[in-house]
Amino acid sequence: MRVINVFLLTALLFLLVFSKSQAQNIVLKQSQQTGVYKKGEKIRVSLFLNQKLPDSVSVVIRENFSKQVLKTTLKYKGDTLVIFDKSFIQPTTIIFEVQSGAEMASIGAIVEPGKFKPGTKRPKDFEEFWKEEKNALRKLPIEVKSVPVKGIEKGYLCFNTEINCTGPKPGRGYFAKPTSAAPQSLPIVLYLHAAGKITNSWVHSEPKNAIKYAKIGDGALCFDLNAHGMLNGQSEAFYDSLQNGALKNYSHIGLEDRSENYFRGMYLRLIRTLDFLTSQPEWDGKRILVIGESQGGGQALAAAGLDSRVTAVVATVPAMCDWGGTLVGRKGGWPDSFATSNNRQKMLKTVPYFDNAHILKGSKATLVVEIGLIDTTCPASAVFAAINQAKGKKIIYTVPYRAHHLFPAYDKIWKETVNKPKTDFIEDYLR
């Protein structure tokens, strides 16, 4: 297993600036600016206020996202105040939250991230289950419906595309490519979407996304796939009806029955779309890059685990990781299935088949992963429990100030030290 510890390199850039809180007045610093610690290494966190505010601060320290370690109020006299000084011998995550007046700040730390393991056992018939699902998919003759999108930039083609699937829904999205590419000359890009209200724009596939990646390097075959197999380009009322109907609480559908589990269909649509893309005469036969954030990042990891043709992934704060963390004193990744009121024994016979902590086992794809150390939606412990199972090269960005969404105060430093290298990787890979 090759791991590139990007956090050690970027620490030099962050040293003076990245521990400032989103409140700007509250400055939190820790002994390892990367937020990553070894077993037994002392974690020392200090606090300083840029401006004089109330003479006390509220401090909450949370361990493994579920256990409250400390909640207290401390006197602040104007000097640097140490709020934590402790070491751990087990893999652990810690979040430090500070409030002064109306302002709040937070940073995170993680101990021995490479040692996190899945919270559930991998089913004995895991490989057999997915082999049967893929065999059934391949037995279904592929049928593609394509409608050209008008007004696309000269030199490129884009199609509103539907691909049949055993899913039970078809794969739907926008497929774009250069008009004059030679056979066996282009890489593949599969672009995937985050969760949220079905009416939100980031949930929908759009031609501009497909064209964006089709233009990188010497060109690419890009498919912008929506997560739900829903029709593209429909009215807001149409998506409202899905939000309040068939897709209401979709992530909890089929938690007690693997044949009905919602993520089964979502993952099969990934494979079916890759079947379509790899059938294109322009594919170079080598490179397949899958990109996504949150739910999209979770799908990207699943694609790498379920389809050995995937050669690289860029996943930002990925979901669908280590749902079993909830059962072992941590918090499971979104949608935190075991935190629901469903029958636990039935879930244990269902949920692990769709958990990236098991899907990624043995994957040889290159994984570029951004992990937020104060992300409570897709916890760092859950993401590491999943990616630790993969065997390929890993480029990991652990970000101590990153929640699931980025606080505006960090936008500039994040763009320079995290987002830019990720973007550079994509451009270099597709060149």
Can you list the alpha helix ranges (DSSP code H) found in 99-173?
126-139
Q: Would you tell me how many other CB atoms lie within 10 Å of the CB of residue 201?
A: 7
Kindly report, residue by residue over 45-88, the tens digit of the pLDDT: 999 988 766 678 999 999 998 666 788 898 888 888 999 999 99
Q: If one looks up domain 18-115 in CATH, what number appears? A: 2.60.40.1930
What end-to-end distance do the CA atoms of the chain give, in Å? 25
Q: What is the pLDDT of residue 50?
A: 83
pLDDT at 150: 96
pLDDT given at position 71? 87
Q: Is the dihedral of CA 317, 319, 324, 330 positive or negative?
A: positive
Query: What was the pLDDT predicted at 52?
Result: 63
Biggest CA-to-CA distance, the chain: 73
The span from the CA of 410 to the CA of 254, in Å, is 39
- Residue 52, SS3? coil
Q: Decide yes or no: CATH 3.90.260.10 for domain 126-430.
A: no
Tell me if 335 sits within 8 A of 377, measured CB to CB.
no
- What is the spatial distance between Cα 222 and Cα 201, in angstroms, rounded to a whole number? 19
Cis bond before residue 281 (omega within 30° of 0): no
CA distance 300 to 305: 9
Q: Where are the domains of the chain?
A: 18-115, 126-430
Which segments in the chain show pLDDT lower than 70?
A: 1-23, 52-54, 66-68
Q: How far is CA 20 from the centre of its chain?
A: 25
The answer to whether the CB of 53 falls within 8 A of the CB of 103 is yes
pLDDT of residue 53: 62
Q: Are 296 and 192 in contact (CB under 8 A)?
A: yes
User: What gap in Å lies between CA 359 and CA 363, rounded to an integer?
Assistant: 8
Predicted pLDDT at 351:
98
pTM score of the predicted model:
0.94
Residue 107 CA neighbour count, 13 Å, CB half: 29
| % of the chain residues with pLDDT over 70 | 93
On whether the CB atoms of residues 255 and 350 are closer than 8 A, the answer is yes
Structure tokens given for 418: 């995290």
Q: Are strands 312-316 and 366-372 parallel, antiparallel or unpaired?
A: parallel
Phi-psi region of 425 (alpha: psi -120 to 50; beta: other; left: phi over 0): alpha
Predicted local confidence at residue 102, as pLDDT = 85
Q: How far, rounded to the nearest angstrom, does the alpha carbon of residue 34 sit from its chain's CA centroid?
A: 20
